[in-house]
Structure 1
Amino acid sequence: MNGPTVHERPSASASWRIALPHTTAAVPVARALVRSALAELEHMADRDTAELLTAELVANAVEHTAGRGPIELVVEVRPSGCQVEVHDPDPAPPGSLTHPTVEEPDVWQEGGRGLLLIRTLSSSCGHRPTESGKAVWFRLPAVPRQRRRT
């Protein structure tokens, strides 16, 4: 005899969009928004990875656009996973995001690993032009419930 069947409703889709200061103070704000967005919907994407990659995107936007305008964070949560975009005013594509370099990052340098982390840990990533600059994005897939951390 079989027990009752439990049907789990897939997570709802939702999105958040927020303007961030063009300073390093934007990084913890962005991390907190991503963590809250994924927790609020009990989404099954890896929250720690989403936070880390978001921090890298925002830090790159702050560092490489030199205060030339606002930065915007867009978080989209879907049953299949999440997508995070960071919009900045510089139209130049990010260095080695979609065309990786062959060189290993210098272990003695503080920077140089952010885009490598994004390429390696996301299911996909890229950039696209916008009316006011560019958007750099990554996607993370939903993680099966038995592999999730609580």
Structure 2
Amino acid sequence: MVRMQMRRAVAADLPAIVELLADDGLGRGRESVADLTPYRRAFEVLDRDPAQLLAVAEVDGVIVGTVQLTVIPGLSQRGRTRGLVEAVRIASGRRGQGLGEELMRWVIGEAKEQGCDLVQLTSNAVRRDAHRFYERLGFAPSHVGFKLEI
């Protein structure tokens, strides 16, 4: 069994994280490792915000995955606090080894520790394999998502 370790990301991890974000058909069209400037700015904001956790997964000291957790307090549903999971990635060469499930179980545990009683995520409509993966972990396709570029 592969031994994976999770930790909070640091600025030096940005090149590896961006490579993971670009490591599929959708990501190749919207991410760029050529200029890390916008990622550095975003990382500085994330790193200062206690409601944000950007994490990396390592195997033998090599970054093989990443995930972001945002804790969202709310009034609806009797003041329920949600954990929003974003940017779940496992390196394409490491998929199928159980690392994605381990990463998701870890981030769900982190959400619980931060007072969340619901974990939610969105997934691009074309990512059918990801949808099956999330459903296998117990996530229900309960909502329709909308986005507006501004």
TM-score bracket for this pair, using the shorter chain length: under 0.3
Structure with bigger gyration radius: 1
TM-score in terms of structure 2 length = 0.27
Going by fraction, where is helix more abundant, 1 or 2? Answer: 2
TM-score in terms of structure 1 length = 0.27
